[in-house]
Chains A and B, each alone.
Chain A
Amino acid sequence: METIVKLNTIKDKLIAEFESSKSSLFGDTTIREKALEAFSKQGIPGRKSEEYKYVNMELALKGDFAFSSTQKLSAKQLESTQFLNDAIVVVIENGKFNSEYSKTNSLPKGLQIVNISDAVSNDVFKKHYSKYANVNLDPFIAMNTALTSGGVFVHVAKSAVIEKPIHIVHVTAVSENTVLNSRNLIVVEENAQATIVESFQTVDSKAKSFNNALTEIVVEASAVVDHYKIQDENACLPDRQDFGHLISTTQSIQKKQSNFTTHTFTLSGLLVRNNLNMVLDDEFIESHLNGLYLTNGNQVVDNHTLVDHRKPNCNSNELYKGIIEDKSSATFNGKIYVRKDAQKTNAFQSNKNILLSDDGTINTKPQLEIYADDVKCSHGTSTGKLDEDKIFYLRARGLSEASAKKLLMHAFASEVVDTIKIDALREYVEAKISKRFE
């Protein structure tokens, strides 16, 4: 009974917060009001909710929360979150765009990056904002849409090819328990190409932060977008494993002949939930989803993906891998949805896990929901330990057991890591993995 009361409190608080800050929030209030209504209907999902059955959101949102923070980052704190030496850096500080730290003054031709609150009158923004992330589908999408206070709008003009990666740094440093709702909209126009890296880090551990980040990505006809999420909440504070709550929703929509690849690397954070919804809204589209999660301690990592094939002749390919240690738990829930019209669809999904500890848990639910007959769809999942034969093979060649295992885990992860196209980023992730299995 006690939990229910508390739950209502956080829900009621959110609604109260909305009422009091409504006038100061940017953009169209009708969108926000609809979202709030959707949120009040859904509430914070309990453990009986099918979609949130393996993550305890009630526990994560227990206690008092503020909805914004005025705490400022120091340059030094910011520096520790940088890992790409040659990138267009965009800093989202506690859920809001920070123009001082962002390097958005001299952008390449065709690229526009502005604070989302300054973009509300932009026609492209109006055309796409909140059109794809469905507030009735998920309470956290609704929460974000109702309460978001900042983020960026990235626009890549027609036929523009942006060579440098755009690095959106989500950095959190709060002094009291805070729920943050940052929101980004990325629109890549026809024939344009862009690479986007989103990283999530917390640099201060004084209080609990609950980051509910949402990014909408529009990939217009024949555009090519490469998207990376590096979730490493505790990277700057390696001794603290007991904090870092992140819900990261990515909603993509693709038009004819476009190519969208997204990578999700979950390296640390007490509770990480990824909602990845991809809509293939026209013909001859290619989509790739890659993911790697390395969990330890008491971590809970939950990856939900939905690939919605709406039109014929599209390909999607999904590969998620995980290594689970200690008392951590990892969940993979992937759905391939093929609609009636989407004939000649090729959709593949693969999830592989290694469980290293006695107390770890793996839950996996790969799903196919198919309403068209001329398709080739498959999924596969496997869970097991490191192959004894392989360890024996390596040991017979003079490797110690520890280094044999390390080598095998590297090999296991490399299938996903090798899909990273930015050298600096790949090296960064590789170094993280090496350090992890030292």
Chain B
Amino acid sequence: MANEILEEQISGEYKYGFVTDIEADNAPKGLNEDIIRFISKKKNEPEWMLEYRLKAFRYWQTLEEPHWAHVSYPKPNFQDIIYYSAPKPKVQLNSLDEVDPELLKTFEKLGISIEEQKRLSGVESRIAVDIVMDSVSVKTTFKETLSEKGIIFCSFGEAVQEHPELVKKYMGSVVPYTDNFYAALNSAVFTDGSFCYIPQGVRCPMELSTYFRINASGTGQFERTLIIADEDAYVSYLEGCTAPMRDENQLHAAVVEIVTHKNAEVKYSTVQNWYPGDKDGKGGIFNFVTKRGICLEDNSKISWTQVETGSAVTWKYPSVILKGDNSVGEFYSVAVTNNYQQADTGTKMMHLGKNTRSTIISKGISAGFSNNSYRGLVRISKGATNARNFSQCDSLLMGDKCGAHTFPYIEIKDKSGIVEHEATTSKIGEDQLFYCKSRGIDNEKAIGLIVNGYCKEVLNKLPMEFAVEAQKLLAVSLEGSVG
């Protein structure tokens, strides 16, 4: 029974696996200083930016790939990747009418119809979208509405041109290029991404959203996101990712940096659905991402919520440095792996300020032949008095060929700190299934119900529009994976 359903699930198709037939402007394959100069020139970047890239590249060359994560994959050939790919024709777009209709079709297939967003203009829950396809940002919506409030929301490339002082000040302040192998690589070759600045006292009236899509073959995607919330500001930021189905492994190495000032709050939600590879584990995205936020000043808050269902290999630890007193860090995660997917994900909470608090809720679900690991660090430094952490990591196993692992690190150097961690691993309770079935709910639905209940704590944290999508995604990913 279980096996039949598993088989059915395993043969489930990735529905975002289409390729959009848009001509792309590619850089030649390979990585050297010339390519970096080429990217920088293409983006019309100032000298300081190029220097930063070159510095990062030279540092990157001294590094070795990290191997400590509980994942195994063929080593990417960094000379066999196209580091710059821009959909042609690249022109300045002012309205949707000017967008390539092929591109629009792509968005419709993605289920993020911009048209619909436009129609909802008058309604409360609007979303401003920045779409990054392959390597460049192609469209940012609602820019005007936002700029009335003083909010800057644009592509990273634009920000470098128009707000160099902000970019200079904050870029690399949370994730320096020396941070790790992939952060260094990203700092050298990043092509675009999103930039967001919320000025003092402004509560962003709508959800800001970025959609990332890898389209061209043989390319890697290296985008960079920088979010700054000034004093008393608030923003909720969404990120979604998809990619076409390909036999090769494509590399995605992004960097996300968040800075919050006094009393500011940033809520960052991700629904990651990169192509996970086929049922034999062929193809799929390598998702090696560095995400980190810093609560720079007092009473600020950063909250990460993620739903991870895609990618062949995921290596991602959204972290919070709690520097300001009374600051709060949160991490809510649902990670689902199926077939031959591997995920090593978790968070780091670095308590530096007084009365800082952090919460970690991680729900892992593994099925098929996949491996799903939680790896997290909670560090309470000396002087971080009355710091408080609560962590909970649950794993659900579906089938006897998958693995679920928990690797929490807890380092405490302050006696007033209180840290609690608990983790459980089990399968779906037979009694829960029986209970549902005896009330006339069929097996499929019962599992959906139980899994949704299991993830509810996290799903509840997602903005409404995203929660619906995430729930659907979970249903697609896992329907009937257990018997």
Contact = CB atoms under 8 A, between A and B. Distances in A.
B425 A343 contact: no
Residue among A368, A371, A381 with the highest chain B CB neighbour number at 10 A: A368
B390 to A, nearest CB: 10
Contacts of B424: 376-378
Nearest to B70: A369
Interface string A378-394: 11111111000000000
A50 to B, nearest CB: 7
Interface residues of B, number: 34
Given A50-B68, A373-B400, A365 B425 contact: no
Interface string A360-374: 111111111111111
A362 B400 CA distance: 35
A368 B395 contact: yes
B405 A378 contact: no
Contacts of B400: 340, 343, 372-374
Contacts of B410: 362-365, 381, 383
Contacts of B401: 340
A114 interface: no
A370 B425 contact: yes
B209 to A, nearest CB: 35
A368 B412 contact: no
A368 B404 contact: yes
Contact of B412 (A343, A361, A371, A378): A361
Given A343-B400, A371-B403, A362 B422 contact: no
A356 B414 CA distance: 9
Contacts, number: 114
B415 A360 contact: yes
B382 interface: yes
Nearest to A356: B415
Given A364-B410, A368-B395, A385-B416, A377 B405 contact: no
Contacts of A360: 413, 415
A239 interface: no
Interface string B396-440: 011111111111111111111111111111110000000000000
A371 B368 CA distance: 11
A370 B398 CA distance: 12
A357 interface: yes
Contact of A373 (B398, B408, B413, B422): B398
B421 A382 contact: yes
Contacts of B404: 368, 370
Contacts of A378: 422-425
Nearest to B382: A358
Contacts of B408: 364-367, 381
A373 B415 contact: no
Contacts of B421: 364, 366, 379-382
Given A365-B410, A370-B404, A355 B423 contact: no
Given A378-B422, A381-B420, A363 B427 contact: no
Residue among B397, B399, B406 with the highest chain A CB neighbour number at 10 A: B406
A355 B427 contact: no
B138 to A, nearest CB: 43
B417 A367 contact: no
Interface string A306-319: 00000000000000
28 contacts: A361-B412, A361-B413, A362-B411, A363-B411, A365-B407, A366-B406, A368-B395, A368-B406, A368-B423, A368-B425, A370-B397, A372-B397, A374-B427, A375-B427, A376-B425, A377-B424, A378-B423, A378-B425, A379-B422, A379-B423, A380-B423, A381-B419, A381-B420, A382-B419, A382-B420, A383-B418, A383-B419, A385-B418
Interface of B: 68, 382, 395, 397-427
Given A371-B402, A372-B400, 14 more contacts: A340-B401, A353-B412, A361-B412, A364-B409, A365-B409, A368-B406, A371-B403, A373-B399, A373-B400, A373-B402, A375-B426, A377-B426, A379-B422, A381-B410
